[in-house]
Structure 1
């Protein structure tokens, strides 16, 4: 596989090149000192894999270059090599098209395994970062559940909310659902409280966003 290495430190580029040169299935075809040069080398050599550092001052950063390269040259798999053990960077580069994320202080064997993994079309994430990723996804899933009206509201409240949003008055809702006006008022107050809504326009916006008007 043909590989380009992008890092602002010459000694790092040389070190990685030396490690990869001993592999029968790998060839370093070019190196780059910043994101712009990395883009140019990818355009020129069309490598299978690009090893990309995130921070390469004073030139263009790997964060910016990753998005450009993944968009213009999707056949080149981008493996981020960085010292930043940070979930925000991880999410950002994966969202922008990177195929892998690992730390520079990882063993040589892990680097080689990561390169071969992304070359096959799979995603590689450093084990420590993978744990953080799973934890963050679980948190986001919990946050999503916390905003799910079908988990927050009772069945009766889910019946009443769309009717309020559609402009029905308390008396009309009471007649439709065969309950008292006072009961409608109580449910309405609970809906506003549970969803942290202040007025009817906010309730209408919420109902539209959650697709409850067709419920």
Structure 2
């Protein structure tokens, strides 16, 4: 029997997951947490095989940060994201942080159990929409002249973010954002963000 910890601030969902998962007889829910801070502090006292992780949690730490911290401390942990978010930035941030799979909350309980089975067998379970998004990402050209940070900033601008919003999301100053934007304008030989976004989309850099 494999042991599971749930990190989720919706108690009704936690109870429903616990009932459905334990009814299979293959998994046991050891404990649940509503915040990342609590989980990081306590989970080592009774380390599970799997963690089911939400992105939005109580407290200041989100599920992506919690996943990254847990994987650094306990690299053997398999962490399955289960969240309402299905946009590309959230998905790729979660996978980069070390999650083994990504399912959305409209997934049926039977599919969540199948995802746990797949992860147990060494797979990387993802809902159909997420898998398609990941697959499409490989179609993006990798000859972009932009750095990773410049690419992140341009992606945020393409989604309508302001300089200030981009700075907050990337945890950098607004002046740093402006510095990177100036550099990417020079690299792309454009004079404004609209032209930069058009060129980057045309070349599949964003």
Compute the TM-score of the two structures, normalised by the length of structure 1: 0.64
What residue is the counterpart of 2:116 in the other structure? 115
What residue is the counterpart of 1:144 in the other structure? 142
Q: Distance in 2 between matches of 1:47 and 1:12?
A: 19
Alpha carbons 2:35, 2:57 under 8 Å: kept? yes
The structure-2 alpha-carbon separation of the partners of 1:58 and 1:109, relative to structure 1 and needing over 3 Å to count, comes to same
Displacement, 1:12?
A: 1.4
Q: Please provide the CA RMSD for this pair.
A: 2.0
Q: Distance in 1 between matches of 2:42 and 2:4?
A: 10
Alpha carbons 2:84, 2:105 under 8 Å: kept? yes
The structure-2 alpha-carbon separation of the partners of 1:146 and 1:7, relative to structure 1 and needing over 3 Å to count, comes to closer
Runs of 4+ in 1 over 3 A off after TM superposition: none
What SS does the aligned partner of 2:138 have?
helix
Displacement, 1:98?
A: 0.6
What residue is the counterpart of 2:52 in the other structure? 51
What are the equivalent positions in structure 2 for 1:54-65 lying under 5 Å apart?
54-65=55-66
What SS does the aligned partner of 1:67 have?
helix
Displacement, 1:20?
A: 1.1
The structure-2 alpha-carbon separation of the partners of 1:59 and 1:144, relative to structure 1 and needing over 3 Å to count, comes to closer
Alpha carbons 2:36, 2:59 under 8 Å: kept? no
Alpha carbons 1:66, 1:98 under 8 Å: kept? yes
What residue is the counterpart of 1:192 in the other structure? none
Displacement, 1:119?
A: 2.3
What residue is the counterpart of 1:73 in the other structure? 74
Q: Distance in 2 between matches of 1:40 and 1:126?
A: 30
What residue is the counterpart of 1:16 in the other structure? 17
What are the equivalent positions in structure 2 for 1:82-101 lying under 5 Å apart?
82-101=83-102
Compute the TM-score of the two structures, normalised by the length of structure 2: 0.67
What SS does the aligned partner of 1:98 have?
coil
What are the equivalent positions in structure 2 for 1:29-44 lying under 5 Å apart?
29-44=30-45
Residue-pair matches, total: 148
List gaps (5 residues or longer) in structure 2.
Answer: 146-186, 190-206
